[in-house]
Every structure is written in structure tokens, then in C-alpha cells.
Amino acid sequence: MRKSFFRLPIFIRDFMVMRNKGTVVAVLSGKGGTGKTLISVNLARVSGECRYLDCDVEEPNGYLFFKPENPAMEEVTVEIPEVLEAACNGCRKCVDFCRFNAMAFIKEKPYIFPEVCHSCGGCMLLCPEKALVPREKTVGRIEEGKSGEVTVVTGILNVGEASGMPVIKKLTGKYLPDQPGLTFIDCPPGSACTVMESIRKADYCILVAEPTLFGEHNLRMVYDLTGFFKKRSGVVLNKCSDGTNPSEDFCRENHIPVLGRIPFDMTLGILTSDAKIAADEKPEFADLFKDILENLKKEVSDEAALDSER
């Protein structure tokens, strides 16, 4: 982009930047219950036509708010081994190799424990008799449906399954197309690999923090994580009231942009606990989230502008 681009008014720049490729915004926090879903759901609602991806596959909650119509379903499967007993010569190489202890060798035959298996494929590669063959096992599913202008994509991990990674990888692989428009990703809480995979393709990260000592501590952890992956981040402070806000202090000290402050509000709390989308229910909440969205767009377009100069 040439220098003349920067002489254009901001809203036109925004439009041009967002038209070229989609913008993926991940919403995350160090722990659960800070307001990730509240914020990602409401931001999606005030963004017109956009996508919402729920990567918190162990406990997806966004769909409770959106109530998408007639969602289309796709199963997520992994490959696990199956024993062809006739071909097995009882050499035990498979059982001895498995670092996840997903196999046992009893009465000269291998037995597989599907929930413990991590689908690495090693046993099948090692078997000298080709007695281990792949079979598909369903570990979860993805549901896609519409709620107004928002395309709601929910990843769901089946109870008892070892890892949410296959579901999240499917979400970020297949359901994050490189199309124009905004996509909001509701990430799992914490800073484990599932979170890393959820933010891998994000262009920007919104970190949600509470104004308590716990909140600041957890913000620090998740800020380190996004920094490590060189993701540009901004903070939304939730449940704010008068008084000290250790999380806000942290932002100031580290020059992290604050995209918005959501006040502690009983009405907002009740709406959310009833799984209602606040922006739909009251104009003042719609305005609150629209302001955050504007700040977000400004941050993202600044970053894109910076990128083009490099």
C-alpha cells in the first residue's frame, strides 16, 4: 500500500483492509468465568454479517445465547488402531512402543483402549505383520447454523474423550475460511495447547480481565502467551466498578490498549445468566459493544497499516 493510502479517512481504510481478507479475532482469558463468551457473543451480534467460532469444545456455551436454527452437523473423527487377530504374531512391539499406555497385551493378543489412544499411528507403522489397521472413531462434532446475521459454529467434544485438539484443529482448519469479514473465536480458558491452537490463526487477540487480584494474575499469564506467539492484543475489562483495578494498572504499565470497560451491572448479569444476548435486549448494551467494536477495528487497521509499511 502506498503512502497515499494513509491520507484516506479512517473508515475507508478500515473498509479496504477488511475487504481484502478476513479478520480473525480471538477472545481469551486466563481463567473461566471472566466474560469471554459474553464479549465474543455480543461483539459478533453487533458486527452484522460475521462468524462466531466456539473453540471451548469441553464446555461450549455460545450456542445457548445464539440458539442457531437447524444447525448442520459434521462429526469429528480420529484414527485409532484395530487388531486383525488372525494376522497378529504376538510380537508385542505395538504394546511396548505405546507411550500413552493405550494398549495392553493379554493372553498373547494386544488390546486397545480407545479413550487413552492419542492417534499417533506408531503402533500401525511398527507392526511387522500389518495386523493393526486404522478405524475411525468419533470424538466430537461441529455444528453450524445461523442466528440472525451471525454464522454460529460450535465445536463439541464428547464427554470422556482425551483431547479437544482434533475438534479445534477442524474448526481452525475448515471453518476459518480466508474470506472477507470478521470472525470471533471464543477460546477455551487457561493457557494450555487447546488455547494455543485456537489463537494460531488469529490476527488479533482480545484479553478479558476482571478487576481483581486474581484477574490481574490471570491476565498476566495469558498476555505472556499471546506475546510469545507475537499476537497483537488489547484488553477488555469486565465487571468494573469504582475502586482499584489491578488489571487496568497492569495494562497501563505494559502499554496494552484497553478496548473497553464493561461495568459490573446486575441487569447485564441477569441477562447473561439467562443466556440472553445483552445487545439484543437493551440499546445501552448494544452501544457499549459497538464502541468496543469500533476500538477493535481501529486497532486492527492500525496494525494492518503498519504491516504494509514493513
Partner 1 sequence: MKQLLILSGKGGTGKTTVAAAFIRLAAAKAYGDCDVDAPNLHLVTAQSTELERTDYFGMPKARIDHEICTGCGLCRENCRFDAILQRDGFDTDRFACEGCGVCEVICPVHAIRMEPAIAGELNLYRNPETVFSTAILKTGSGTSGKLVTEVKKQLLKNMYPDTELIVIDGSPGIGCPVIASLSGVDMVLIVAEPSVSGIKDMKRIIETARIFRTRIGVCINKHNTNPVKSEAIEEYCAGEGIPFAGRIPFDRAAVEAINRQMTIADVDCPSGTAVRKVFSQTMKILSSEKEGANL
Partner 2 sequence: MNIAIPVDEKCLDSGVCPSFGRTPYFLFYNTITKEEYYLDNSAVAAQGGAGIRAAQVIADHGVKAVLAPRCGENAAEVLKKAEVILYKSITGTARKNIEAFVAEELLPLTDIHQGFHGHEK
What, of partner 2, partner 1, none, does residue 244 touch, CB below 5 to 8 Å by kind? partner 1
- What's the grid cell of residue 36? 469471554
Query: Considering only residues 56-95, where is the footprint of partner 1 by CB under 8 A?
Result: 58-59, 61, 64
User: Exposure pattern of 184-199 as b/e (b: 16+ CB <10 Å)?
Assistant: bbbbbbbbeebbbbbb
Q: Nearest CA to 240 among 248, 232, 228? A: 248
Measured CA to CA in angstroms, residue 160 lies from 103, 120, 139, 186 at distances of 18, 19, 9, 22
Point out which span in 131-139, 176-184, 270-278, 299-307 binds partner 1 (CB under 8 A): 270-278
Query: What is the closest distance, in whole angstroms, from the C-beta atom of residue 261 to partner 2 in the complex?
Result: 34
Helix axes 283-309, 36-45, angle to 10 degrees: 90
Point out which span in 69-77, 122-130, 133-141, 148-156 binds partner 1 (CB under 8 A): 122-130
What, of partner 2, partner 1, none, does residue 295 touch, CB below 5 to 8 Å by kind? none
Nearer to partner 2, 150 or 165 (CB): 165
| Residue 173, CA atoms < 13 Å, CB-side half-sphere | 8
Query: What is the closest distance, in whole angstroms, from the C-beta atom of residue 2 to partner 1 in the complex?
Result: 32
The residues near 273 (Cβ < 8 Å, ≥ 6 apart) are none
Query: What is the closest distance, in whole angstroms, from the C-beta atom of residue 193 to partner 2 in the complex?
Result: 6
Give the type of residue at 2.
R
Query: What is the closest distance, in whole angstroms, from the C-beta atom of residue 224 to partner 2 in the complex?
Result: 20
Where does this chain bind partner 1 (CB under 8 A)?
A: 30-34, 37, 58-59, 61, 64, 97, 99-100, 118-122, 125-126, 159, 163, 189-193, 196, 210-214, 217-218, 221, 224-225, 228, 241, 243-244, 246, 266, 269-270, 272-275
